[in-house]
Amino acid sequence: MRATIVSIAGVEPVSRSVVGKGAVPVYAAVAIAWTVALLGVSVRHLTIALDEFAMAAVIIGTPIGVGLCLQGRGFDRLATLAQGGGLFIAGCVGITLLTFALGTSDRPLIDPALAAIDRAVIPGLDWPAAMLWLSHRHILMAAANWVYESIGWQPMLLIVMLSFSGQHRRVWTFLMAWLGTLFVTCALFVLFPGVGAYAHFGLAAADVPAMRDPTPWHQATVLSQLRAGTLHHIGFVDLDGIVTFPSFHAAAAVLLGWAASSMRAIRWPAILLNGAMLISAVPIGGHYLIDIVAGCVVAVIGISLAGKADVPTATGYRPPSRRVSAATQLARSIVLPSGSRASR
C-alpha cells in the first residue's frame, strides 16, 4: 500500500503512455497516408488484393503492437525500434499505393520538358550515349547498383542504431521528414508525371545490361497501364516505385545523410554512401538530372515540415512544476517512515 502511494506521489510518471514520445505525429501521418490512398483507389475505380494486403497488415502491424506493449513496460529503446520500424514500412506501403491511384491521371507526360531542362543546364548532353558509355564500366556500375539498392536497408539500419543509442526523438523526426517528403513527392507526381529517361529515349534493358535494377522499365510499363486504364487490380506484390519527378532516391539520400549526422561514428560514412546513392539515381534509376535537384529540394521541405511537427507538446512529457515537486516531497515525508527517508 505504501509503495503504491509513493508511486502515485513520486516525480516519476505513475503510468506510461504506450505511444512513444514524439510518435503521435508519425501515427497521424501514416493514418492520413492510408486514408487518402484508399480513397484514391476507390475514386479511381481501382481494386486491391484484399487477402494480400490483409496479410501484409498483420505482418506490419505486429511489430507496432509489440512496440506499444514494450513502451508501456518501459523498454523504450526496443519500443522505439519496433514502432518506428513498423510505421516506416506502413507509411511507405500506403504512400506507394497512393502513387498508383495518382498514376491514373491523364495529365501530359513531362519527360520532353525534363530532357530539355537537362540539355539547357548542360549543353550538348546526350543522355542515352552517356548511359551506354557507363554500361561498359562494369566495376563502376557494380558499385552504383549496390549503393542505389542500399535504400532497401539503410532506413531500417538507421532506425535500429538511433533507437539503441537512445535518440528516440531523432527517430520520430526522421520518420516525419521521410513521410513529409513522400507527401510532397506525391503532390508533384500528380502534376508532373513521367515515364523516366530510359523509356523516353527508347533504351531497353538489354542495351544497358550493367544497370541491373529493372525498376526504370517496370515503372514505365506500370504507369502506362495505369494511364491507359488497363491496370485495375493492384496486388501487394505489384507495388513499386513509379515516380520520375522528383527523384525520391535523391530525396532519401539527403534524408538518410541528415538523420545519420547525429551519430558521430557513422556521420561521414553515411554522408559519403548517400552522396553516391544520390548520383547513382541517374544511371540506375533512369532519372534526369533535374529529377535529382528536385529530389534534394523536396527533402529539405520534408525536413522543414518535420521540424514544425516536432514541437515540445508532441513529446508527451512536461516537466513537473515547482509546486508539484514540493507537494511530492511533502507526500513522501508523510508516507515514508523516517528510516526509509534516510535510506533514500
pLDDT computed for residue 16 by the predictor: 63
37 inside domain = no
Lowest mean pLDDT among 69-73, 83-87, 207-211, 328-332: 328-332
Whether pLDDT at 116 is above 90: yes
- Return the pLDDT at 344: 42
- 91 within some domain: no
Q: What's the angle, vertex CA 167, arms to CA 163 and CA 170, rounded to 5?
A: 105
On whether residue 235 sits in a domain, the answer given is yes
pLDDT > 90: percent of the chain: 80
Number of structural domains (the chain) is 1
pLDDT of residue 328: 39
Q: Calculate the average pLDDT of the chain.
A: 87
Question: pLDDT value at position 22?
Answer: 83
* pLDDT above 50 (res 321): no
Residue 15 has pLDDT above 60, yes or no: no
- Report the SS3 class of residue 285: coil
294 falls within a domain: yes
Q: Which tens digits make up the pLDDT trace of 238-288?
A: 999 999 999 999 999 999 999 999 999 999 999 999 999 999 999 999 999
Residue 307's pLDDT is 86
- Residue 142 resides in a domain: yes
Q: How far apart are CA 148 and CA 280, in angstroms?
A: 6
In a domain, 149, yes or no: yes
Least reliable range by pLDDT among 11-20, 84-93, 109-118, 200-209: 11-20
- Between 8 and 48, whose confidence is greater? 48
The pTM assigned to this predicted structure is: 0.84
For residues 38-44, give the mean pLDDT. Answer: 96
Is residue 291 within 8 A of residue 250, CB to CB? The reply is yes
| Distance separating alpha carbons of residues 224 and 264, to the nearest angstrom | 45
pLDDT tens-digit series, residues 49-99:
999 999 999 999 999 999 999 998 889 999 999 999 999 999 999 999 999
Q: Would 258 be classed as within a structural domain?
A: yes
Q: How confident is the model at residue 310 (pLDDT cuts 50, 70, 90)?
A: low
Query: What is the extent of the structural domain holding 211?
Result: 107-328
Half-sphere exposure of 321 (CA within 13 A, CB side): 3
Tell whether omega for the bond before 214 is within 30 degrees of 0, i.e. cis.
no
In 3-state terms, what secondary structure has residue 233?
A: strand
The C-alpha atoms of residue 227 and residue 44 are separated, in whole angstroms, by 11
Rg (CA), the chain: 24
Whether residue 25 lies inside any domain: the answer is no
Map residue 47 onto helix, strand or coil. strand
Section 132-144 average pLDDT: 94
pLDDT given at position 88: 98
Cell 514540493, located at residue: 326
